[in-house]
Amino acid sequence: MSTVTLAAISAARRGHALGRTLLIAAAWLAFALLLLLPLYIVLSEALKQGLGTFFTALIEPDALSALKLTLIAVAISVPLNVVFGLAAAWCVSKYEFRGKSLLVTLIDLPFSVSPVIAGLIYVLLFGAQGFFGPWLQDRDIQIIFAVPGIVLATVFVTVPFVARELIPLMQEQGSQEEEAARLLGASGWQMFWHVTLPNIKWGLIYGVVLCTARAMGEFGAVSVVSGHIRGVTNTLPLHVEILYNEYNHVAAFSVASLLLALALCILLLKQWSESRLTRLKSNAAEE
Amino acid sequence: MSRRTSPVIPGFGLTLGYTLVYLSLLVLIPLGAMFAHAAQLSWAQFWAIVSAPRVVAALQLSFTTALFAALLNGIVGTLLAWVLVRYRFPGRKIIDAMIDLPFALPTAVAGIALTALYAPAGLVGQWAQALGFKIAYTPLGITLALTFVTLPFVVRTLQPVLEDIPREVEEAAACLGAKPWQVFRYVLVPAVLPAWLTGFALAFARGIGEYGSVIFIAGNMPMKTEILPLLIMVKLDQYDYRGATSIGVLMLVVSFVLLLLINLLQRRIEKR
């Protein structure tokens, strides 16, 4: 390289040094103002009256029953969407068929639907004035303003998470390993358990983590179908809303900080599975 | 259905069938039911509902706040993505990991935290009060809440694209005599623009539908600070199913159009 171009490069880099410092400072400032400040507020408001009131808010019966319902919603929606994600990713990544891109778009659909609409559609189907309303009433089955409605709404908003992580991953990996397993005499299930699953493990975990985060924190969709019956149809985010609207701010922020702690755990898990995933990919690239 | 299946890998019928049944039962039929419900109305009735002043005001508010939030994210998100990809500095890993916090944090928690922060007595709100303006309970507060919940979109769509641009390209441009702004305008902007637009559109679409983080900070005054999703809730609470359904259909059509645009953009990126 000639000295002229080297000089040009070093001049460009020197010019960058000041800009670089300014940009990093600006990024830190934006990060602190936009993300750290809200976190600080949640914790400081929760602990305003000391640890005693903080823990009382967490162990009162309504909070515990809200926690229980949130766990139920997560425990049903996550496994359902894991099975769906596996099936969807399998047929999209292993086969060619007409309408595949349409199918992928439909899988993503719940992401672009407002959570309030997610609740609304189930009210229109199963509510007292809904399509199945009279039929359900005759049989004394309640879906809306009851636990099944909350579970349904949660499942709806979390449909795409696992499929969305698995589809690109499995498309990238191709199907040679599965074909080899089959030709060596493995049955379909053996191939799935011993070849496919270990290959997609980290992508699957990543999808589950994202799915859990959304299932745990969903507010709009659940709010429409819940009816806000204390101790019966309240999830943790709805419980936060009720406490807040009752001007019980310390209790609201105490429950909120429990959800914040869970969100931070989710971020750690996500970071961990993501790093395993990139390591796996770079290993594959080296081979 | 014409298909080219791998002859040795089983499960095509099972997995495709399961996927279609699951999607139909949970997503397609319920969404279709909403359209069927709306189809019971005549065009005139539908139009009367969606052109009512209160609905139009809410639509305008949702659109403008989501637009400004997406624009703000387009700037702050680009800054964060650039700094995270190009520079190594103390705390980089923490910022990178925490960018996704708005997706992991329940929106209701974000809502009450931002309200406490920006309310007139809050940490930031009292400064605004001293300067003579209000943040919480105004469209500005709604915009800030939407900026928080949609922050990861632009950052996460830009990061991989920026990583793929080799530094040498910019240096080559500099060697050839390009000024820094020319490098920015003619080298970086064309390379990242499609991804930037995708992130922007995702943030915008999410902003229009967002509910949980907004209702606490909005104040929810009809005609002034009432967002479109909240109006659906209000109509449902009054057992006005027709009104709720019509607004729901309106919102869905808007999101379909946005989704279509996003897909077209992504296809253009993949073609490169």
Question: What pLDDT does residue A238 have?
Answer: 93
- Band of the pLDDT at B269, cuts 50, 70, 90? low
Summarize the confidence of residues B95-109 as an average pLDDT: 92
B197 in A contact zone (CB under 8 Å): no
Same domain, residue pair B124 and B220:
yes
Question: What pLDDT does residue A216 have?
Answer: 93
B201's tokens: 């559109």
Summarize the confidence of residues B228-256 as an average pLDDT: 90
Summarize the confidence of residues B203-226 as an average pLDDT: 90
In a domain, B248, yes or no: yes
Query: Is residue A48 scored above 90 in pLDDT?
Result: no
Helix (H, G, I), strand (E, B) or coil at A96: strand
| Residues in Cβ contact with A267 at an 8 Å cutoff, skipping those fewer than 6 apart | B97, B98, B100, B101, B104
- State how far residue B247 is from chain A, nearest Cα, in angstroms: 9
Lowest mean pLDDT among A147-156, A237-246, B178-187: B178-187
| Closest by CA position to A12, among listed B83, B189, B177, B84 | B177
- Band of the pLDDT at B1, cuts 50, 70, 90? very low
**DSSP class per residue in B38-99:** HHTS-HHHHHHHHTSHHHHHHHHHHHHHHHHHHHHHHHHHHHHHHHHHH---TTHHHHHHHT
pTM here? Answer: 0.89
Summarize the confidence of residues A223-236 as an average pLDDT: 82
Q: From A175, which residue of chain B is nearest by alpha-carbon distance?
A: B9
Query: Is residue A143 scored above 50 in pLDDT?
Result: yes
- Band of the pLDDT at B237, cuts 50, 70, 90? confident
B205 in A contact zone (CB under 8 Å): yes
Whether residues B3 and A123 touch (CB distance < 8 A) is answered with no
Summarize the confidence of residues A114-127 as an average pLDDT: 92
Whether residues B2 and A98 touch (CB distance < 8 A) is answered with yes
Question: What pLDDT does residue B270 have?
Answer: 65
In a domain, B4, yes or no: no
Query: Is residue A163 scored above 90 in pLDDT?
Result: yes
Same domain, residue pair B33 and B75:
no
- Nearest-by-Cβ selection for B19 from A88, A120, A156: A88
In a domain, B223, yes or no: yes
In residues, how long is chain B?
Answer: 272
ipTM: 0.87
Better pLDDT: B229 or B172: B229
B246's tokens: 């019509």
- Nearest-by-Cβ selection for A175 from B9, B15, B30: B9
Question: What pLDDT does residue B164 have?
Answer: 85
Same domain, residue pair B57 and B35:
no
- Band of the pLDDT at B142, cuts 50, 70, 90? very high
Whether residues A37 and B171 touch (CB distance < 8 A) is answered with no
Summarize the confidence of residues B71-85 as an average pLDDT: 94
CA distance A169 to A6: 42
Name the β-bridge partners of A97: B3
For residue B181, what is the domain's CATH number? 1.10.3720.10
**Residue B80 · residue A27 · CB < 8 Å:** yes
Better pLDDT: A82 or A2: A82
Measured N-to-C along each axis, helices A249-286 and A37-46 cross at an angle, to the nearest 10 degrees, of: 140
What percent of chain A lies above the pLDDT cut of 90?
47
A37 in B contact zone (CB under 8 Å): yes
Q: What's the domain count of chain B?
A: 2
Q: Apex CA A152: angle with CA A149 and CA A153, to 5°? A: 85
In a domain, B2, yes or no: no
Residue with tokens 């602190």: A32
Question: What pLDDT does residue B6 have?
Answer: 56
Same domain, residue pair B120 and B139:
yes
With a CB-CB cutoff of 8 Å, which residues 87-146 of chain B face chain A?
Answer: 87, 89, 91, 95, 97-110, 112-114, 116-117, 122-124
Same domain, residue pair B174 and B223:
yes
Whether residues B27 and A159 touch (CB distance < 8 A) is answered with yes
What percent of chain B lies above the pLDDT cut of 70?
96
- State how far residue B11 is from chain A, nearest Cα, in angstroms: 8
- Band of the pLDDT at B2, cuts 50, 70, 90? very low
Same domain, residue pair B114 and B188:
yes
